[in-house]
Structure 1
Amino acid sequence: MILVIIATHYLPHVGGLELATFHLAKELDKQHNEVHIITPSPDPNKNTTPIHMHRYPIHTYPDEGPIRAFIDGLTFFKKTVKTIKEIKPDIIHAQNITNSIPAYIAWKKYHIPYTICIHGNLELMGPFLPASLKRFWPQLPHIKEAAQIITLTNEMATQFEKELGTKPVVIPNGVDLDRFYPAENNEMKKSASPVILTLSRIDNKKGLEYAIESMKKVHAKFPTAKLMIVGDGEYRSELEKLVEMNMLSATVEFTGLIPNSEVPVYLRNADLFLLPSLYEGLPLTLLEAMACGLPVISTPVSIAPEIITTWKNGYIIPFKSPDAIYEAIIDLLSNPDKRRQCAENSFRAAKETMSWENVAKQYAELYQFILESN
């Protein structure tokens, strides 16, 4: 099978979508498919991979305004359609709705079916229609003509079925099990104190203030326990003020940004993973924490209710509840046997259902079904 993936962003820039595109392409290539990636994302290092890369950088700067950005986008779409004609793929995979526009053009001109994988909220999918007019989404031809729409979670699928009138297929992203795995039995933690880890951009949707507030009571029970907040963002200064106000400077640590290569190290040196977010698309860090064998505590965002079972591999907690966070942390820290069992269950779930090999097989089966149906 010859597959084209259209992605607005790609490596060497590192983000959830970029990594998802890379791992999907790599695993499909391993499964004896010919994979091409078309992207405007430049690569100054000119790295080579088994994947066929087609890079058409566009140089848009913020002060150039939306008109210039629109023109650059059209230029990329034109080059994408031309490249698709040259490749002659069996099927096209568009990462997000905006990239389905050139896929739709290729479908009309060359009868090549395409899928759309949506990685976020409908309101965020492209600049071509305001949220106030979202009732017209189902009539947009590049959405209507897609052979299949894919979402990452059942929650997202329900939202899109309501808005678009068609039910998407759900295929969650995977986790890189070559990088994310539990610490060896003989691998000593760098800290003897219990570490509760959060790993995210720091903004007001991450619910980190509730985690900080919970640490007042956690500290009373476990004086050496530490909340480690990994990441950075515009909301950090507000949280630092909250820490100082509650006299938790010795209990809450802000690491700032860390290199992507160090993420597995931080996870393997933690005791618990905490995701107190108010909203998430697909929290890749949650999957990575499970792959590293951590009990996970999360609000019911995104895929969390589908992969976390209270008492089995962690806790699902209510939104905006420092008390619920405290109770979950204390229960797991007070019961080493339960914590160990939750850790084993987390890793087992990640290994059996969340590998990129498994995800790629689901995509390959979907593509084959579409081709046979056409």
Structure 2
Amino acid sequence: MDNAINIVNGRSRLQRTTDYDKVTIELNELKIHDDDKIFVHVARCAKAKNQKLLVDTFNRFLNEGYHGVLILIGTAYDSEENIHILNNAQKGIYWLGAKNNVGDYLLQADFFVLSSLFEGLPISLLEAISCGVIPICTPAGGIPDVINSESNGYVSKSFDADDFYYTLKRAFDDEKYFNRIHLEEYFENNFSMRHCAEGYFNAFSHNDTK
């Protein structure tokens, strides 16, 4: 068929809440060094999200002397099935539980990390991009369709631990060169609600009813 139309689901850009300043204080208190970069992961703890790889990778990152803290936001980290992941986490890795103001954390983060084995099109990734946060991800599902060049973020070559670690380290080393304004514009032009609505409007407006 030659009449297929592809319209990517849009998301609203995340906004600050009244707790934004409290989150600023909270994140500063969690830092070990003044120059620590903030890495945020937003997902329920589950095998598909592969948080064991994420925590193991960040442990290695810290052991090699890099300055950063990893913030885990989501549920089920304290379950019997997953508690070993937290028990293995070093100082500098913090689980904050579920949050209804995720935007306050992403708007103050330097990096968004996603270590999934399986994904569709992660909403959390789109929301992070809307905040200009540099994404670091595994090549799961639709992620490579979103992060299709290093101007949009970093995707590891595989799900291998070394590949993911070196991708994280490359993103950290290149952070000062990354154009966050471009990332926000990329979101607006491709994944915003405005772009989605325009897609539907144009599809119906140009429908040939003859």
Q: Secondary structure at the match of 2:47?
A: coil
| Structure 1 position 263 matched with structure 2 position 99 | no
TM-superposed deviation, 1:327: 1.2
Please show how residues 337-348 of structure 1 align to structure 2 within 5 Å.
337-338=176-177, 340-341=178-179, 343-348=180-185
Q: Which residue of 2 aligns with 1:352?
A: 189
CA distance in 1, matches of 2:58, 2:74: 19
Count of residues in correspondence between the two structures: 196
| Structure 1 position 174 matched with structure 2 position 10 | yes
1:104-142 per-position Cα deviation (integer Å, ceiling 9, x unaligned) = xxxxxxxxxxxxxxxxxxxxxxxxxxxxxxxxxxxxxxx
Q: Which residue of 2 aligns with 1:200?
A: 43
CA distance in 1, matches of 2:107, 2:53: 24
Q: 1:335 is matched with which residue: 159, 168, 174?
A: 174
Unmatched 5+ stretches in structure 1: 1-164, 181-187
Distance 1:256-1:234 versus aligned 2 partners, 3 A rule: closer
CA distance in 2, matches of 1:346, 1:194: 18
Moved over 4 A (4+): 165-168, 234-237
Normalising to structure 1: TM-score of the pair?
A: 0.47
Contact 1:198 1:275 in 2 (8 A): yes
Please show how residues 195-344 of structure 1 align to structure 2 within 5 Å.
195-222=38-65, 224-233=67-76, 236-244=79-87, 246=88, 248-259=89-100, 262-338=101-177, 340-341=178-179, 343-344=180-181
CA distance in 2, matches of 1:295, 1:303: 17
Percent of aligned pairs sharing the same letter: 21
TM-superposed deviation, 1:228: 1.4
Contact 2:107 2:131 in 1 (8 A): yes
CA distance in 2, matches of 1:178, 1:361: 20
Question: How large is the RMSD of aligned CA atoms in angstroms?
Answer: 2.7
Q: Secondary structure at the match of 2:183?
A: helix
1:5-50 per-position Cα deviation (integer Å, ceiling 9, x unaligned) = xxxxxxxxxxxxxxxxxxxxxxxxxxxxxxxxxxxxxxxxxxxxxx
1:301-338 per-position Cα deviation (integer Å, ceiling 9, x unaligned) = 33321221443232111443222222122222233422
Distance 1:167-1:284 versus aligned 2 partners, 3 A rule: farther
Higher-RCO chain (CA-CA 8 Å, sequence separation at least 6): 2
Please show how residues 95-244 of structure 1 align to structure 2 within 5 Å.
168-177=4-13, 179=15, 190-191=27-28, 192=34, 193-222=36-65, 224-233=67-76, 236-244=79-87
Q: Secondary structure at the match of 2:187?
A: helix
Greater displacement, 349-358 / 295-304: 295-304
Normalising to structure 2: TM-score of the pair?
A: 0.79
Contact 1:203 1:236 in 2 (8 A): no
Unmatched 5+ stretches in structure 2: 17-23, 29-33
Contact 1:207 1:320 in 2 (8 A): no
Distance 1:276-1:236 versus aligned 2 partners, 3 A rule: farther
Greater displacement, 220-229 / 250-259: 220-229
